[in-house]
Amino acid sequence: MNTGMDKPLLIGRFAEKPLYYLPRSMPGLGFIAAGVIDRGTNVVQVRPTTLCPMNCAFCSVDAGPLSSRRHAEYFMDLEALLEAFNQVASVKTAMVEALIDTVGEGLTYPYIYSLIKSLKKHPRVKSVALETHGAPLSKQVINKLWEAGLDRVNLSLDTFNREKAKMLYGLESYDPARVAELAEYMVKETSIDLHVTPLWLPGLNDQDIEDVLNWALKIGAGKKWPPTTVQKFNVHRHGRNRLGVKQVSWSEFYKWLEKLERKIGARLRWDMNEWGMTYDRRIPILYRRGELVGAMIVAEGWLKGEFLGVTLHGEPRLITLIREKSVAAIGRKYIAKIVENKDGIYVGKIVGEA
């Protein structure tokens, strides 16, 4: 490479897919699967890893060992993540929440405790939160998260039925009773707040949702933030729906939520203010849709038919490159036409060689 950057390192394989380490010299902005994402609020998404041990039948990002759409997996250098986070946080006018929400399981990141500690020390950060299904949790892990300074866990727990959980999550060892016990330990023995976020799968876990919500309220979830939120199931283009779950409309979803709120006697909908969330300044969008940019392919892409690239001119960004008819190769430079740039996440179609 002549970009002054180290190449991503192919460090092994995960479920027969290449696993790349994205080094410190790589930019931490521009890629949906790894790095930092700025969506124009004071909540900044931090994505250190794509790995996940589960094979959820409803996964919106087709994560896990049995993924059929993924072509590669990644984890990002800690310093690269922190540098990208600082770029985003420095433009905000409000204090920031760092939300570790991955396209996998955040607790698979080998430097997760150091990441949390470093984010907590940032002068613009008011809180650090982590999303998880809970499979990697243990009392030791929870204590280390507490020691690192984690403020909140957003826990996706969709049923207490172990057999149903095996079907939904595709992981024989997953025991929802164990996860619930650990969540109770977190609430009672640490200062980490718990926000429980079950996913409603119409026709599959209707009663389970009610049971999970009542449990969350009973154990004291929501010390500082709202205790519970129900997620709506949506069929995603790159996700999976292995059990053929019906996707309901938003109006149907809200009617169902209203009935559920009345039944359990608790709120399930919250506004931005109650989350301490505000719209805020964002880092500039560097490339317009339709613009031609030079980029070098540095690794295989996250999904089939894609490559991971780095832009060649100005401030570098990661970019997903799509090949159409021609064959593309790692280490080669190409011209790409920007087809997506929402929230500074860049996707370009290769149109020729640079």
- pLDDT value at residue 325: 67
Residue 4 lies in a domain: no
Q: Do the beta carbons of residue 115 and residue 144 sit within 8 Å?
A: no
- Give CA–CA dist 225/230, Å, rounded: 15
In one letter, which amino acid is 36? V
Residues 39 and 121 in one domain: yes
CB contact set of 184 (below 8 Å; sequence gap of 6+): 219
Q: Tens-of-pLDDT digits for all 354 residues of the chain?
A: 445 577 899 999 998 999 999 999 999 999 999 999 999 999 999 999 999 999 999 999 999 999 988 999 999 999 999 999 999 999 999 999 999 999 999 999 999 999 999 999 999 999 999 999 999 999 999 999 999 999 999 999 999 999 999 999 988 889 999 999 999 999 999 999 999 999 999 999 999 999 999 999 999 999 999 999 999 999 988 889 988 999 999 999 999 999 999 999 999 999 999 999 999 999 999 999 999 999 999 999 999 889 999 999 889 999 999 987 667 889 999 999 999 999 999 999 999 888
Residue of 55, 58, 34 lying closest to 46 (CA atoms): 34
Residues 298 and 261 in one domain: no
Ramachandran class of 170: left when φ > 0, alpha when ψ lies in -120 to 50, beta otherwise = left
Residue 127 lies in a domain: yes
- pLDDT value at residue 268: 95
Residues 302 and 267 in one domain: no
- pLDDT value at residue 218: 97
Residues 185 and 300 in one domain: no
Residues 203 and 339 in one domain: no
* CATH for 194: 3.20.20.70
Count up the domains in the chain and report the number.
Answer: 2
- pLDDT value at residue 1: 40
Give Dmax over CA atoms of the chain in angstroms: 63
Residues 87 and 39 in one domain: yes
- pLDDT value at residue 168: 93
Residue 1 lies in a domain: no
Residue 280 lies in a domain: no
CB contact set of 233 (below 8 Å; sequence gap of 6+): 58, 199, 200, 201, 202, 245, 247, 248
Residue 21 lies in a domain: yes
In what helix (H) or strand (E) does residue 258 lie, and over which residues does it extend? helix 250-264
Residue 282 lies in a domain: no
Residue 336 lies in a domain: yes
Global pTM reads 0.94
- Domain limits at 111? 9-275
- What residues are paired with 152 via a beta bridge? 129, 193
Residues 238 and 328 in one domain: no
Residues 113 and 161 in one domain: yes
* CATH for 319: 2.40.50
Alpha helices in 78-175 (DSSP H): 78-89, 112-121, 139-148, 162-169
Residue of 232, 280, 283, 306 lying closest to 33 (CA atoms): 306
Residues 166 and 66 in one domain: yes
